[in-house]
Amino acid sequence: MHLDHTHDGPAALGADARRPDGTRRALRIGLGGPVGSGKTATVAALCRALREELSLAVVTNDIYTREDAEFLLRHAVLPPERITAVETGACPHTAIRDDISANLEAVEDLEDETGPLDLVLVESGGDNLTATFSKGLVDAQIFVIDVAGGDDIPRKGGPGVTTADLLVVNKTDLAPYVGSDLGRMAADAEAQRGGLPVVFQSLRSETGVADVAAWVRARLAAWTA
Amino acid sequence: MSRAALLVLADGRFPAGGHAHSGGAEEAVKAGRVTDAASLADFCRGRLHTTGLVSASLAAAAAAGTDPAALDAAADARTPSPALRTAARRLGRQLLRAARATWPGAELDALARRFPKGAHQPVVLGLVARAAGLGPLDAAYCAAYESVSGPATATVRLLSLDPFDATAVLARLAPELDRVADRAVEAARRVADEGVDALPAASAPLLETGAQAHAGWPVRLFAS
Ligand SMILES: Nc1nc2c(ncn2[C@@H]2O[C@H](COP(=O)(O)OP(=O)(O)OP(=O)(O)O)[C@@H](O)[C@H]2O)c(=O)[nH]1
Ligand SMILES: [Mg+2]
């Protein structure tokens, strides 16, 4: 018995770039980060920014409710059949990193039922600074922190801050009120991340999610190239 | 065959989705039926001799080569709650995905083709045991153990129960697990002559009605 992956099976198993019918699957981008940092708000803004030019869908991983999925539904950022909530048994980091089977099912079902898709955004429920996505689930990950969580978070590092493909420092509009030093956050982030990109954004500002949307477009261009 | 494959398959960290399910423990905790280690032991014992025995028998029969479609129908007949059927199929599908990557083979591919949305988890488990080179008794042990280890782990999270106490509950159940696995294999052996009706149909009405109620909760930690 040979124990390597077989690619000729009836349904996809993991992260293979090709679906069983030979077509390229959607790019999968994960969004993780601490509770309340603005992951759902970023997902919603990305959907609004990209939905005219791309076919997209969202998977949410809530801790004990369907709040994130319901927020996206209520604000009608996408049609309901393009939003799926995965239940995580109180452990979002398990569902996005250690045991990704439910999330893989969700992204594949979305693609089967509403596809073809260009992009699937997978939001993790708010977790701690060590929560990262498995490479078996997503192709790239965005780690979202905010200025109100303390301007020492970039300095503290942790797998999310140091290794995410994109670090987003959100809610810059609040910096003056919480006494966060954006210059120091930027310097610490750069030191921790060795050249990986960082975006400072306020979803309350004119620019909003534009920088993150541009980064997503670039990833997508690389994926389909 | 490698006996160590049983350890891989039975490991609670085997990535097949079980972590998101409480085996009815979340509903029992909310209803006040499970409050401590002693009531967890009662809950697990009840589950072992009902759901556990049925699951172990289905798994043993599948591992012995019984037609999975007949077993899947038998599992449906023994699972009145639609919520539990859905959960069992979802877990079956997740297990099949993990197993097709870990023990690839034609039989599991055929099962995935036949049940694209999943067969009942114990049936899949039996076929996975086969693919891993294990036998009906191994499959029965896995199913019986999962029927109590899931609720025990979930209760540690739900009640902040001392994890040593929860593990001790499982250890005390070991002799009963042996007996349930033996009964399951015996029943599976009879399937060859008598068909799937020879499989046990022990049911736990509170688990069934509780699962239906749980599925309607707006806020919950576990999927079932
Ligand atoms: N001032 C300000 N508030 C923001 C910004 N982005 C998000 N928020 C608010 O922050 C709160 C939390 O945002 P969410 O998007 O729900 O955060 P989340 O990371 O998805 O939260 P969890 O999923 O619970 O971990 C909401 O009230 C948002 O409106 C921002 O750029 N500036
Ligand atoms: Mg959210």
Q: What is the pLDDT of residues A69-109, one digit of tens each?
A: 999 999 989 999 999 999 888 788 899 999 999 999 999 99
Q: With CB atoms and an 8 Å threshold, state whether A64 touches B220.
A: yes
* Beta-bridge mates of residue A29: A121, A140
Q: Given a cut of 90, is residue A191 above it in pLDDT?
A: yes
| Full-model pTM | 0.90
Query: A140-144, B2-6, B55-59 — which is least confidently predicted?
Result: B2-6
A16-36 residue pLDDT tens: 888 878 888 999 999 999 999
Q: Is there a contact between A4 and B104 if contact means CB atoms under 8 Å apart?
A: yes
Please report, for the domain that includes residue B185, its CATH number: 1.10.4190.10
In the predicted structure, residue A6 carries a pLDDT above the cut 50: no
User: Tens of pLDDT along B23-33?
Assistant: 999 999 999 99
Contact A105 B97 (CB under 8 A): yes
- A99 close contact with B: CB closer than 8 A: yes
Alpha carbon of A80: minimum distance to chain B alpha carbons (Å) = 18
**Considering only alpha carbons, which residue of chain B is nearest residue A104?**
B94
Chain B residue numbers with beta carbons less than 8 Å from the beta carbon of A105 are 90, 93-94, 97
* B151 part of a folded domain: yes
Q: Report the complex ipTM.
A: 0.85
CB contact under 8 A, A14 and B220: no
Tell me which chain B residues have a C-beta less than 8 angstroms from the C-beta of A1.
Answer: 103, 105, 133
The pLDDT tens digits for A119-138 are 999 999 888 888 899 999 99
Whether the pLDDT of residue A200 is over 50: the answer is yes
* Residue B201 lies inside a defined structural domain of this protein: no
Testing the interface with B: which of A4, A16, A101 to mutate, by most B Cβ within 10 A? A101
Query: SS3 breakdown of chain A: % helix, strand, coil, rounded to 5?
Result: 40, 20, 40
Residue range A151-178, pLDDT digits in tens: 999 999 899 999 999 999 999 999 999 9
Best of B29, B97, B219 to disrupt the A interface (most A CBs within 10 Å) is: B97
| Distance between CA atoms of residues B136 and B131, nearest Å | 12
Domain tally, chain B: 1
- Specify the CATH number for A30-224; select among 3.30.2000.10, 3.40.50.300, 3.20.20.60, 3.20.20.450: 3.40.50.300
Question: Is B215 a domain residue?
Answer: no
A4 has a pLDDT exceeding 60: no
The pLDDT, as a whole number, for residue A128 is: 81
Alpha carbons A122 and A42: distance in angstroms, whole number: 12
Q: Is residue B209 included in any domain, yes or no?
A: no
Question: In the prediction, which pLDDT does B198 show?
Answer: 97
Q: What is the mean pLDDT of chain A?
A: 91
Task: Please state the rounded mean pLDDT for residues B36-43.
Answer: 98
Residue B159: which domain range? 3-7+18-194
pLDDT tens string B178-207 = 999 999 999 999 999 999 999 999 999 999
Mean pLDDT of B151-165: 95
Domain borders along chain A are 30-224
What's the confidence (pLDDT) of residue A67? 84
